[in-house]
């Protein structure tokens, strides 16, 4: 797969390892500016390894990763953000001893220009404004997820990658987050959603890639009315 002109992120035949464990096998994908893509698959098929390869946390032995037109085989963890790729990591990883506002400011470390700033994040998630000066550790799971998304948006990303954002959240909060992610996409930010929750995928994504054993095995349009067809890729 060649990097397209308007591709924000592409993996070309990437083989990634943890130590000697071969996790990603000739993994290829390309995500275009403005789209909303879902990466689906069961636990342990390599979805998070894909993120780790992008962040230089899994060892890429062959293949190339292109971010916003720049190709490298090894990316340092701080480099994708500079190219406008922000990650909402699995488990949220809110910095516990920083306040809500400091966590948001951290997201703006690369000073990319764009529409997002602290004020706009507070408009999107009013609860964060109320809790602006509490430490991140004191937030509920749902609030931490909002903060993780807000923090990523603070980097004014071209592409926001969300790694299992619904893990451990109540269904009503999942719906709220889904609406917000879709809204962010409609305002121009490309979205890559890594999920097993097909309900959220139906709400947010227009295209899907299914991963199994470290490779992409299927792809297609997401049809919200017939989402159960994707069950085979996520149910054990």
Partner 1 sequence: MLGISIFNGLVYGSLLIICASGLAMIYGLRRVVNFAHGALYMLGAYIGYSLSLHLNFWFALLLAPLVMLLLGMLLDKLVFHPLQERDPLSVLLVTFGLLLVLEDLVRATWGRASLSIEVPELLAGSVDLFGNPTPLYRLAVIGLGVGSMVALWAWLRFARTGLYVRAASTDPLTTAMMGVNTERVNALVVGIGTALAGLAGVAAAPLLSLAPSMGADVLVDSFVVVVIGGLGSLGGALISAFLLGQVQSFGTIYLPSLSAVLPFLMMIAILIWRPSGLAGNRV
- Residues within the interface to partner 1 (CB under 8 A): 55, 57, 76-78, 80-82, 86-87, 89, 93, 95-98, 102, 105-107, 109-110, 151, 155
CB 213 → partner 1: shortest distance, Å? 26
Distinct helix (H) and strand (E) counts, the chain: 9, 10
Strands 207-212 and 215-221: antiparallel
Give least dist CB 199 to partner 1, A.
27
Round to whole Å and give the CA distance between 138 and 44.
30
Supply the minimum distance, in Å, between the C-beta of residue 61 and partner 1.
18
Query: Looking at beta carbons only, is 193 or 216 nearer to partner 1?
Result: 193
In the complex with partner 1, the residue whose CB is nearer, 95 or 218, is 95
Could you tell me the end-to-end alpha-carbon distance of the chain, in angstroms, rounded to an integer? Answer: 30
To partner 1, the closest distance from the beta carbon of 136 in angstroms equals 10
Nearer to partner 1, 86 or 230 (CB): 86
Beta carbons of 176 and 204 less than 8 angstroms apart: no
Of residues 112 and 206, the one with the C-beta less far from partner 1: 112
Tell me whether residue 112 or residue 182 sits nearer to partner 1 (CB atom). 112
Between 26 and 108, name the residue whose CB sits nearer to partner 1: 108
Q: How far is the CB of 110 from partner 1 (least distance, A)?
A: 4
Alpha helices by DSSP H, the chain: 47-54, 79-82, 100-107, 118-124, 126-130, 141-153, 171-186, 198-204, 231-234
- Residue 79 C-alpha from the chain's centroid: 16
CB of 160 to partner 1, least distance (A): 12
The string of DSSP letters for 63-122 reads EEEEETTEEESS--TTHHHHTTEEEE-TT----TTSBHHHHHHHHTTT---SS--HHHHH
Residue placing its CB nearer to partner 1 in the complex, 105 or 234:
105
What minimum distance in Å lies between the beta carbon of 172 and partner 1?
27
Strand partners, 67: 9, 70
Structure tokens at 74: 């090894």
């Amino acid at each position: 797969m060649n990097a397209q002109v308007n591709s924000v992120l592409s993996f070309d035949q990437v083989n990634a390892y943890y130590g000697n464990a071969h996790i990603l096998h000739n993994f290829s994908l390309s995500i275009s500016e403005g789209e909303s893509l879902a990466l689906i698959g069961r636990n342990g098929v390599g979805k998070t390894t894909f993120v780790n390869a992008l962040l230089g946390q899994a060892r890429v032995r062959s293949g190339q990763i292109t971010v916003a037109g720049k190709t490298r085989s090894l990316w340092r963890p701080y480099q994708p953000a500079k190219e406008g790729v922000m990650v909402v990591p699995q488990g949220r990883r809110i910095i516990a001893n920083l306040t809500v506002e400091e966590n948001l400011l951290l997201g703006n470390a690369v000073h990319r220009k764009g529409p997002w700033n602290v004020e706009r994040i507070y408009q999107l998630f009013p609860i964060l404004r109320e809790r602006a000066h509490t430490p991140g550790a004191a937030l509920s799971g749902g609030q931490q997820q909002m903060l993780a998304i807000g923090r990523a948006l603070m980097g004014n990303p071209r592409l926001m990658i969300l790694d299992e954002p619904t893990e451990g959240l109540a269904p009503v909060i999942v719906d709220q987050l889904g609406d917000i992610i879709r809204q962010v996409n409609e305002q121009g930010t490309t979205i890559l959603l890594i999920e097993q929750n097909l309900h959220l995928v139906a709400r947010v994504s227009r295209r899907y890639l299914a991963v199994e054993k470290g490779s992409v095995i299927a792809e297609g349009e997401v049809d919200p009315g017939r989402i159960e067809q994707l069950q085979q890729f996520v149910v054990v």
